[in-house]
Structures are given as C-alpha cells and as structure tokens.
Amino acid sequence: MAEAQPDIVDTAIAAGDFTTLVAAVQAAGLVETLKGPGPFTVFAPNDAAFAALPAGTVESLLEPENKDQLVSILTYHVAPGRYPASALAGQSGRIPTVQGQTLRLHGANGVRINSSNVISADINTSNGIIHVIDAVLLP
C-alpha cells in the first residue's frame, strides 16, 4: 500500500529550506489550519527570502504581541483551493487569499506573485500545493 502523502506543514519541515516559515507558522498558531483538509495553495518564502527582510523584522514578528500581524502576513501567502503552475503560467490577474486581500499574478516569463518570483513550483502535498517564492509578501 502506498504511503500517504505528507501535508503542507510536514512537507515544509522535511524540505529543510523553510525553517523560518515553519517557526512563524508555529508562532502564529496556524499549524492545525495548514494540516487541515484544504486544499490550499501556499506561496512559501524560503529561508533566504526571510533573511532578505530588514534586520530584526522576523524576530519582531515572532514576538507574542505581534501575533495578529504575523497571522495576517502568513495567511496572505495562502490561497484557498489548488493553483498548479499550469493554471498560473501565461495568466495574469488576482488570486484570493485566506487573509482576505488578493495577490497579483503575472504569468508571463515565469510566474511572479506580487513582486516575488516562483522559483520552485508544484510541490504537491496531501492537502494542497506549495510554490516556493523568493520574497516575503506583505499585505
């Protein structure tokens, strides 16, 4: 029998390049949500994207008093539903987010979400898809 595919959180942990994102998801209390049935599409900033933020930004966001802001930023990276790369490439428009605002999609010459580039697409999980991006999106 085939082993069940891991969910979004377990996939991100196993990848090893999302330690900051995983720590932020844990600090924001979003682990159970992202382990839920979904489906979700996560535009996941890698550790290098978080490292590119101004010094102290990540540490500040992880403080308990900034949890609401952290939740807002993280849920801005999550779209309800599945958006495989094949549905994004060559397209432009807006993608709704769990946070409530929309992301700008530019699918010509690769795929850009707002000002970030999708650098690795279609990491399939049991409850959605992860696209790795090179910048942290701010609502």
Local confidence band at 3 (pLDDT 50, 70, 90 cut-offs): low
Q: How far is CA 52 from CA 20, 45, 56, 107, in A?
A: 12, 11, 11, 24
What's the CATH number of domain 8-133, 2.60.40.4070, 3.40.50.1000, 3.40.50.1820, 2.30.180.10?
A: 2.30.180.10
Kindly report, residue by residue over 7-56, the tens digit of the pLDDT: 999 999 999 999 999 999 999 999 999 999 999 999 999 999 999 999 99
128-133, strands of its sheet edge to edge: 78-80, 40-45, 128-133, 116-125, 112-113, 102-106, 92-96
| Residues 122 and 129 sit within 8 Å (Cβ to Cβ) | yes
- Nearest by Cα to 33 from 78, 70, 1, 64: 78
Residue-level pLDDT at 28: 97
Using a pLDDT cut of 90, give the percent of the chain over it.
Answer: 96
100 within 8 A of 87, measured Cβ to Cβ: no
The overall average pLDDT reported for the chain is 95
* 42: Cα separation from own chain's centroid: 4
Tell me the CB-side half-sphere exposure of residue 124, using CA atoms within 13 A: 4
The rounded distance, in Å, linking the Cα atoms of 124 and 130 is 6
Specify the pLDDT at position 4.
77
Structure token pair of residue 28 = 């924001």
SS3 40: strand
